Amino acid sequence: MSMNSGYNLNELLSTLKAEIKEWVEIKVKLLQLQVYEKTAIAGSFLIYGIIIINLLFFAFLFAFLALGFLIGKWINSIAGGFAVIGFLYLLGLALMLIFRKSIFTGLQNLFLKDLMNTEPENESSVS
């Protein structure tokens, strides 16, 4: 009987080992898929951001060109109007440099929040 009992224990351990190995492989595959998903989310967020930034750039460019001409008309000097706009750009640059750490931290937190908010949604859909 001890021989039969040993055989069952070996069989049980072998089955357990195979199941643990399969569970680990599934867990690794799940982690890989989660990394792929997060990479895809980050990539799409980046591409979307680039598109939005380009559109905003051109919108601001044309708005400031129009404003430069308008200010130039008011002060009777087109060059003066564009000098005022140039000063506004320099002021904006100075503010961005002064607040760069808080701007960077805010953007980083926004990006991380966006990535973190996708996880609970995906876990509930996997279960």
pLDDT tier, 112 (very low <50, low <70, confident <90, very high otherwise)? confident
Instruction: Please check the confidence at residue 56 and state whether its pLDDT lies above 50.
Output: yes
| Cα gap 30→116, rounded to integer Å | 17
Mean pLDDT, all residues of the chain: 85
User: What is the C-alpha radius of gyration for the chain, rounded to an integer number of angstroms?
Assistant: 30
Domain range list for the chain: 2-126
Half-sphere exposure of 119 (CA within 13 A, CB side): 9
Q: Which residue has the higher pLDDT, 83 or 121?
A: 83
pLDDT of 99 reads: 94
Q: DSSP assignment, residue 115?
A: H
Which of 43-52, 64-73, 105-114 is least confident? 105-114
C-alpha torsion 61→64→65→67, nearest 10: 160
| Cα gap 66→81, rounded to integer Å | 10
**62-82 as b/e: b if 16+ CB within 10 A:** eebeebbeebbeeeeeeeebb
Instruction: Please check the confidence at residue 75 and state whether its pLDDT lies above 80.
Output: yes
Residue for token digits 């607040």? 99
Evaluated on CA atoms 63, 69, 74, 75, the torsion sign reads: positive
pLDDT of 6 reads: 54
Q: What is the mean pLDDT of residues 96-125?
A: 75
